Structure 1
Amino acid sequence: MADLRDVLLVDAYNMIGGWPELAELAQNNMQGARDRLLERLSDYQAFTGMHVIVVFDAYRVPGLGKSFSQSKLQVYFTKEKETADETIERLVGELSRKRRQIYVATSDFIEQHVIFAKGALRMSARELLIEVENSDREIQKRIERDNSKSTRNTLDGKLSAEQRKLFERWRRE
């Protein structure tokens, strides 16, 4: 059975340059910026249920190109002399036959038009950052809500109505 989740393709270095936290980190620690981006996108993927594919340009990491999974994200490093835009365009073409909806996160204006013409929806680096921050806040709210429920009375939530009545009767006697 085909995976029918929506797909988010991310131009990684575009996000690193467009997200203030990552841009600052990248000035002294590019690997740290890459890791932080993957960490945040992994949380976003888990929260939204989207399939997130992150594409890094080879010009920053020379080599033959590779694809691997990290924190359940699919990560691509393009081949040498291949851009992230070319890889993203190829993936949009391949995935559009198999998936429901494809989103591409890039602030590259020309790339936005190309992928839009191929049927994908575009999202700027700023828009994705807002989405990720909103999902982070919602995750935090859910954690706090779950923690407050579990600290109030963990046994009460597990008892049936009959059991509660029995315990209440015993308490009053």
Structure 2
Amino acid sequence: MDILLVDGYNIIGDWPELKVLKNKDLAAARDRLIEKMAEYQAYSGYRVIVVFDAQFVKGNAKKMKNSKVEVLFTKTNETADERIEKLAISLNNRKTQIHVATSDYTEQWAIFGQGALRKSARELLNEMESVEKRIESKVKKIQERKPASKIPLSNEVAEIFEKWRRGK
């Protein structure tokens, strides 16, 4: 089994779309990252855990599931890096490959020492863009295979029927 641990705020601060969104609405940037990771998880089959520092969300450590993606907020004095290192150690076994998405160079070396593989924010973004293109391609193929009408219709007549169907 493959597990992807994501340093949430590190990725948000690196991906152009999320960086712009963060400046307007941090919660919306978090939600958008989680949505993207849900797509990634559904396509790749990885178990995805997104970890956010408590610095922006005060209180006790929180754990929640959003679209099957696990979302963790660290305790007040715990960094996402520390939580990711602990997770990399606790989840690591012979049947599991841990991947950590972060561009924090120090964190990359720390998790590398735990036997985890690292993905930079840019690598994850490139992978995510590729996944989105593949999903889009599959959706187009499915839409193109929609059943044809049982009665052959000209494009004009089909357009008129479509307008009627929509109540126009």
**Fold match (TM-score > 0.5):** yes
Query: What is the one-letter code of the residue matched to 1:46?
Result: A
C-alpha distance in 2, partners of 1:54/1:99?
Answer: 21
Hey, which of these two has a bigger chunk of helix by percent? 1
| 1:36 alignment partner in structure 2 | 32
C-alpha distance in 1, partners of 2:113/2:53?
Answer: 22
8 Å CA contact retained: 1:7, 1:99:
no
1:152 Cα deviation from its structure 2 partner: 4.7
User: TM-score when scaled to structure 2?
Assistant: 0.86
Q: Which runs of 5+ in 2 are unaligned?
A: 151-168
2:126 alignment partner, SS class: helix
| 1:66 alignment partner in structure 2 | 62
1:150 Cα deviation from its structure 2 partner: 2.3
| 1:22 alignment partner in structure 2 | 18
Query: What is the one-letter code of the residue matched to 1:37?
Result: L
1:98 and 1:59, CA in 2 relative to 1: closer, same or farther beyond 3 A?
farther
8 Å CA contact retained: 1:58, 1:77:
yes
1:92 Cα deviation from its structure 2 partner: 0.2
1:151 Cα deviation from its structure 2 partner: 3.8
Query: What is the one-letter code of the residue matched to 2:30?
Result: R
Map 1:1-173; keep pairs closer than 5 Å. Answer: 5-97=1-93, 99-152=95-148
2:88 alignment partner, SS class: helix
8 Å CA contact retained: 1:96, 1:102:
yes
Q: How many residues align?
A: 150
Q: Percent sequence identity over matched residues?
A: 49
Pairwise CA RMSD of aligned residues?
1.4
Q: Which has the larger radius of gyration?
A: 1
1:18 alignment partner, SS class: coil
C-alpha distance in 2, partners of 1:37/1:108?
Answer: 18
